[in-house]
Amino acid sequence: MHAMADEEVSPDASDLMEKVVGLCKRRGLIFQSAEIYGGFRSTYDYGPLGVNLLRNVKNAWWMSMVQCRDDVVGLDAAILSPPAVWAASGHLATFTDPLVDCMKCHQRWREDKIDGVCPSCGSREFTEARAFNLMFKTHAGPLEDEGAVAYLRPETAQGMFTNFANVLQTTRMKPPFGIAQVGKSFRNEITPQNFVFRTREFEQMEMEYFVPPAEAATWFDYWLAQRFQWYLDLGIPEDRLRLRHHETSELSHYSSATADVEFLFPWGWDELEGVANRGEFDLQAHAAASGEKLEYYDQSTNERYVPHVIEPAAGATRTMMAFLLAAYHEDEVGGEARTVLRLHPRLAPYQVGVLPLSKKDTLEPLAREVLTSLQPHFLCDYDTTQSIGKRYRRQDEVGTPWCVTVDFDSLEDRAVTVRDRDTTEQVRVPIDSLVAELRRRLDAS
Ligand code: ATP
């Protein structure tokens, strides 16, 4: 980590949530959806800065899970899918949460999340729990009959199973290998809550890793360690991250072992990602239901088998929120209070802020030249409004790791000042080596 500026004053947990939600709205990270119509409960839109941050989270995942490996390939499957997929996967029968109604205030809750007490009125009397299926059902085409039923996928994983044979036939992959996907999923959550932690529409980052059955336990441990490290590498502090192994009674219908990567949210430890050993459940279920052979034939040993599957399943939107909560800090610089997001430079909505020192027209052409040279390499903001101090604060507040200031000396020496967000240290860098210097800093972060 970098050295910190002056005294650090971190908000306590109860304030933190409010401050981060406020910042998200004020600075265009996350807006309430359909706000001009009063908002649509628990749906959110990602604004100009939020879309950058969310993309950076997904890119960092793709970089580590696909781009930097030769044993994992990508996929982008359809969101709409026919009931047959969800009948085979078990979701139609078992993808349910226990729904209870409070007898006193009639609010509806997910029984396993409320400890027997109504969060709204405090009553302990509820109706019997009913199994509520979380899948969004819709109709494809103009006829709303049973034959036209379609579901919005509640997870991206099934696309990897239904395309297993396609990927085997069109690539040179053989177990152990993985198929990865990032995309939207939909769950009709009974009680969406905690900002973007639990929403009905969200984004997932999932990978199915197909292995010879005897190697499943080893790969489970491998992926657990890899995934835990990914969060640490992107700046989540070690004391706010933990692994929790599921008890046998908690395991999903498909899983023989599951462990969650958990983050210390303001309300306590909660899940960021689940890593599951799904065994041969999915491939076998889809093979039985579709009549297709979903197995691997190993020519070297003349063996045919159904690979077992290890699945690291993370939420992109939920993880983005954890990165924001972990990054939020308040400190003082030169006796002045500031809010600073200490986001990893790879995640920051803007990596560089280009700031001409004065609004005078004389600096504009050079400042724009600097901006244009940086834009193909980094996410850049260009800000000419208000004093330089205010502009630094504005960039600090959204986590921009480096500000580049163009001043009157720049016109003479073709050099600029690069200021570091965390240390507030400033150094002079020649414009000709600016891209290389910032690239060096990004690679070193
Ligand atoms: P929970 O128990 O919290 O409902 P889950 O264990 O059913 O979640 P998984 O099916 O394992 O979740 O999904 C993998 C990941 O997808 C989760 O770890 C989470 O990051 C993300 N995710 C799941 N449901 C939601 C949701 N409603 N909103 C945002 N992210 C979600």
* Ligand 1 neighbour 187 (Cβ under 6 A): yes
The answer to whether residues 219 and 210 touch, using CB atoms and an 8 Å cutoff, is no
**Among 112, 136, 158, 202, which residue has the most ligand 1 atoms within 8 Å of its CB, making it the best to mutate?**
202
Q: Give CA–CA dist 423/87, Å, rounded.
A: 55
What tokens were used for 91?
């979701």
* CA 239 – CA 223 distance, rounded (Å): 20
**Residue 244: phi, psi to the nearest 5?**
-130, 120
Q: In angstroms, rounded to a whole number, what is the distance separating the alpha carbons of residues 56 and 257?
A: 30
Say which amino acid occupies 432: D
Please, are residues 353 and 391 in contact by the beta-carbon 8 Å criterion?
A: yes
pLDDT digits (tens, 9 = 90+) for 75-124: 999 999 999 999 999 999 989 889 999 999 999 999 988 989 999 999 99
Within the chain, which residue ranges are assigned CATH 3.30.930.10? 13-95+134-324
Residue 137: alpha-carbon gap to chain centroid: 25
SS3 call for 221: helix
Atom 28 of ligand 1, residue of closest alpha carbon:
198
Between the CA of 412 and the centroid of ligand 1 the distance, in Å, is 56
List the chain pLDDT tens, one digit each, 445 residues: 334 445 555 567 779 999 999 999 999 999 999 999 999 988 999 999 999 999 999 999 999 999 999 999 999 999 999 999 999 999 999 898 899 999 999 999 999 889 899 999 999 999 999 898 999 999 998 877 777 999 999 999 999 999 999 999 999 999 999 999 999 999 999 888 899 999 999 999 999 999 999 999 999 999 999 999 999 999 999 999 999 999 888 887 777 899 999 999 999 999 999 999 999 999 999 999 999 999 999 999 999 999 999 999 999 999 999 999 999 999 998 888 999 999 999 999 999 999 999 877 899 999 999 999 999 999 999 999 989 999 999 999 999 999 999 999 999 999 999 999 999 999 999 999 999 999 999 999 9
User: What is the pLDDT, as a whole number, of residue 8?
Assistant: 56
For residue 315, the CA-to-ligand 1 centroid distance in Å is 6
Distance CA 109, CA 101 (A): 6
Is residue 272 in contact with ligand 1, taking CB distance under 6 Å? Answer: yes
Nearest CA to ligand 1 atom 26: 198
Query: In terms of CATH, what superfamily is 13-95+134-324?
Result: Bira Bifunctional Protein; Domain 2 (3.30.930.10)
**Cα–Cα distance, 434 to 441 (Å, whole number):** 11
Atom of ligand 1 nearest to the CA of 197: 29
Q: Please tell me the distance between residue 154's alpha carbon and the centre of ligand 1 in angstroms.
A: 10
Dihedral of the CA atoms 31, 55, 74, 71 (nearest 10)?
-130
List where CATH 3.40.50.800 sits in the chain. Answer: 350-444
Is the CB of 110 within 6 Å of ligand 1?
A: no
Is there a contact between 42 and 358 (Cβ–Cβ < 8 Å)? no
Any ligand 1 atom below 6 A from CB of 189: yes
Which CA distances in Å does 54 have to 26, 44, 351? 17, 13, 14
Are 378 and 351 within 8 A, CB to CB? yes
pLDDT for the residue 2: 39
Cα 246-175-161 angle, rounded to 5 deg: 65
DSSP class of residue 198? B
* Residue whose token pair is 């059902």: 137
Helices (H), 328-433: 364-374, 388-397, 408-413
Query: For residue 38, which amino acid is it?
Result: G
CA nearest neighbour of 279 among 312, 304, 311? 311
- Residue 332 C-alpha to ligand 1 middle, in angstroms? 37
| pLDDT (0 to 100) of residue 4 | 45
Q: How far is the CA of 348 from the centre of ligand 1 (A)?
A: 24
What is the rounded distance in angstroms from the CA atom of residue 163 to the CA atom of residue 365? 52
Q: Verify whether ligand 1 is closer than 6 Å to residue 317 (CB atom).
A: yes
Distance between CA atoms of residues 315 and 319, nearest Å: 6
Residue located nearest, by CA, to atom 5 of ligand 1: 274
- Chain centroid to CA 259: 18
The C-alpha atoms of residue 167 and residue 73 are separated, in whole angstroms, by 9
Which tokens sit at 250?
């908690």
The CA-atom distances, in angstroms, between 268 and each of 145, 262, 377 are 45, 10, 38
Q: Whose CA is nearest to atom 4 of ligand 1?
A: 198
State the CB neighbour count (10 A cutoff) for residue 344: 20
pLDDT at res. 144: 75
Give the Å distance between the CA of 391 and the centre of ligand 1.
Answer: 38
Distance from C-alpha of 373 to C-alpha of 431, rounded to nearest angstrom: 9
Residue 153 CA to ligand 1 center (angstroms) comes to 13
- pLDDT of 11 reads 65
Residue with the smallest CA separation from ligand 1 atom 19 is: 315
Q: In what order do the strands lie in the sheet with 72-74?
A: 72-74, 177-186, 201-211, 308-315, 268-279, 257-265, 241-245
CATH of 350-444 given 3.40.50.880, 3.60.15.10, 3.40.50.300, 3.40.50.800: 3.40.50.800
Token pair 């409010």 is at which residue?
18
Q: Is 89 in the pocket of ligand 1 (CB under 6 A)?
A: no
pLDDT in tens, 169-199: 999 999 999 999 999 999 999 888 899 999 9
- Choose the residue to mutate in 41, 196, 203, 204 for probing ligand 1, maximizing ligand atoms within 8 Å of C-beta: 204
273 lines ligand 1 (CB under 6 A): yes
